[in-house]
Amino acid sequence: TMNRTRSAQLYEEALQHIVGGVNSPSRSFKAVGGGAPVFMERANGAYFWDVDGNRFTDYLAAYGPIITGHAHPHITEAIVRAATNGTLYGTPTELEIKLARMLKASIPSLDKVRFVNSGTEAVMSTIRVARAYTKKSKIIKFAGCYHGHSDLVLVAAGSGPSTLGIPDSAGIPTSIAHEVITVPFNDIAALREALDRWGSDTAAVMVEPIVGNFGMVMPKPGYLEELCKLTREAGALVIYDEVISAFRFHYGSTQTYHVFPDQAAVEPDLTALGKIIGGGLPIGAYGGRKEIMEQVAPLGPAYQAGTMAGNPASISAGIACLEVLGAPGVYEEMERLAIRLADGIGAAAVKHGVPLTINRIRGAFSTHFCDHPVTNYEEAQDTDGEQFARFFRGLLEEGVVIAPSKYEAWFLTTAHTDADVDATIEAADRALRNVLI
Ligand code: PMP
């Protein structure tokens, strides 16, 4: 077995100083049998090296942002340049205009944007703005969708909390929980019912248009169109949380649907962004229609600010990352590799008699241990966590890293190659052999 002695030592040490030994609960191995997570020392391209000198192929991609692989030279150069010129000014810069223009050019529903430091902040801010604009307070969200750790959206919130068996976070007053209505995804009747009942008090319907937080789930054909229509009829705003999905499946958001044949293009009123648009540095952004965004200070009464917001390092890394992704064929190549990998894993599962549903969307897919389709959170919950845990541990022993959660996805990056995919299919074959025991 793989020697991870040093990781185990560091974990014991980390536990004494950092709560749970990790700075984000999703990094804990609690849901996959416990024990020490792997402490990484460095990363390059598609690989990690841990503190014991083991090499791993990375399909975690840091939960999404690392779409060009680690330490991509174009991004590294941009970060070094930014650092050399000073990391934070507290004044505007021309760089911010450049990234804003790039986002607007590829996501047409953004008239105006504002940069923040995380996806959590982006989502939080869209809610503030929607409430300021509509002068209403309730939010409708979908079971299992995760929108960061701000109060309102932590109610029934997907991958993070549910991986650890925490249905709703403690520390959220019931008065706030009363402001949130949760309905199942991909169920238009449930949304209609919620809007009939609470629509007149509802500021916004918040949705991951392609769900990343209970395992890559596509909206049913026509679902988002209907969602937008019903929401607007109720006088509420549509907020798309595209923190994971923007620039993941093609160059742009899910709002231009030409890459998804059975979907019509539907534009939200507000969009939350993060992850990929920062090229691996902390970032978030939100934006939308001009008259809505003009609620934000200094133009309007909705206050939102940030000392670190729009810092030159994050913005430069984001610009460089989008430049890499804008090259021809980049997404097609990630999709080609993802198809090969998902097909290989699927075939190995069949060979070993392991029921496995793979939800693949372009260069990303999730592996659900079940024999039914996964189209909503309930179906994602109804999968075998023990089998997933054995698969996860088997892969790790083989030097393959995915997220320690059955709700998360595998991400291909521009750094992965056919050789990586071949090796990973063999690793998955060996891991699946021991999943049913
Ligand atoms: N929205 C979605 C859809 C996410 O997946 C996440 C993070 N996984 C967030 C918001 C929160 O982003 P952050 O962790 O940068 O605060």
Q: What is the pLDDT of residue 425?
A: 98
Using an 8 Å Cβ cutoff, are 431 and 350 in contact? no
Q: Is the pLDDT of residue 413 over 70?
A: yes
Alpha carbons 13 and 153: distance in angstroms, whole number: 33
pTM of the model: 0.97
Q: Tell me the two tokens of residue 347.
A: 């075939």
DSSP-derived letter for residue 247 is: T
275 is known as an active-site residue:
yes
Whole-number Å distance, alpha carbon 272 to ligand 1 midpoint, is 9
- Give me Rg for the CA atoms of the chain: 21
Whole-number Å distance, alpha carbon 280 to ligand 1 midpoint, is 13
Q: Say how many CA atoms lie within 13 Å of 174 toward its Cβ.
A: 0
Alpha carbons 289 and 8: distance in angstroms, whole number: 50
Interface predicted TM-score of the whole assembly (ipTM), two decimals: 0.99
* Domains parsed from the chain with CATH numbers: 5-71+329-433 (3.90.1150.10), 73-325 (3.40.640.10)
Q: Tell me the two tokens of residue 338.
A: 């993802």
Residues with CB under 6 A from ligand 1: 63, 118-120, 123, 146-148, 208, 212-213, 241, 243-244, 274
Alpha carbons 269 and 163: distance in angstroms, whole number: 31
Q: What is the pLDDT of residue 159?
A: 56
Using an 8 Å Cβ cutoff, are 60 and 48 in contact? no
pLDDT above 90 as % of the chain = 91
Q: Is the pLDDT of residue 69 over 90?
A: yes
Whole-number Å distance, alpha carbon 304 to ligand 1 midpoint, is 18
Alpha carbons 121 and 109: distance in angstroms, whole number: 20
384 is known as an active-site residue:
no
- The answer for residues whose C-beta is within 8 angstroms of residue 99's C-beta and 6 or more apart is 115, 277, 315, 318, 319, 322
Please state the φ and ψ torsions of residue 217, each to the nearest 5 degrees.
-125, 125
Q: For residues 310-335, give the mean pLDDT.
A: 98
Would you call the peptide bond into 108 cis, given omega within 30 degrees of 0 as the criterion?
Answer: no
Q: Is the pLDDT of residue 164 over 80?
A: no
Alpha carbons 363 and 79: distance in angstroms, whole number: 26
Using an 8 Å Cβ cutoff, are 304 and 286 in contact? no
Q: Where are the beta strands (DSSP E) in 51-102?
A: 55-58
Q: For residues 205-212, give the mean pLDDT.
A: 96
- The answer for residues whose C-beta is within 8 angstroms of residue 185's C-beta and 6 or more apart is 142, 143, 144, 145, 207, 211, 217, 219, 375, 376, 377
Q: Say how many CA atoms lie within 13 Å of 181 toward its Cβ.
A: 20
Q: Is the pLDDT of residue 279 over 80?
A: yes
Average pLDDT, the chain: 95
Q: What residue owns the CA closest to ligand 1's atom 10?
A: 147
Alpha carbons 286 and 288: distance in angstroms, whole number: 7
DSSP-derived letter for residue 219 is: P
Using an 8 Å Cβ cutoff, are 323 and 74 in contact? yes
Q: What is the pLDDT of residue 437?
A: 78
Q: What is the pLDDT of residue 167?
A: 56
290 is known as an active-site residue:
no
- The answer for residues whose C-beta is within 8 angstroms of residue 106's C-beta and 6 or more apart is 247, 251, 252, 253, 322
Q: What is the pLDDT of residue 231?
A: 98
Q: What is the pLDDT of residue 358?
A: 98
Residue pointed to by tokens 């080609």: 336
Q: Is the pLDDT of residue 155 over 80?
A: no
Q: Tell me the two tokens of residue 142.
A: 């979908």
Q: What is the pLDDT of residue 160?
A: 59
Q: Where are the beta strands (DSSP E) in 249-306?
A: 270-274, 284-288
Q: Which residue out of 125, 243, 273 has the highest number of ligand 1 atoms within 8 Å of its CB and is therefore the one to mutate?
A: 243
Whole-number Å distance, alpha carbon 148 to ligand 1 midpoint, is 5
Confidence of residue 361 (pLDDT cuts 50, 70, 90): very high
Which ligand 1 atom minimizes the distance to the CA of 63? 8
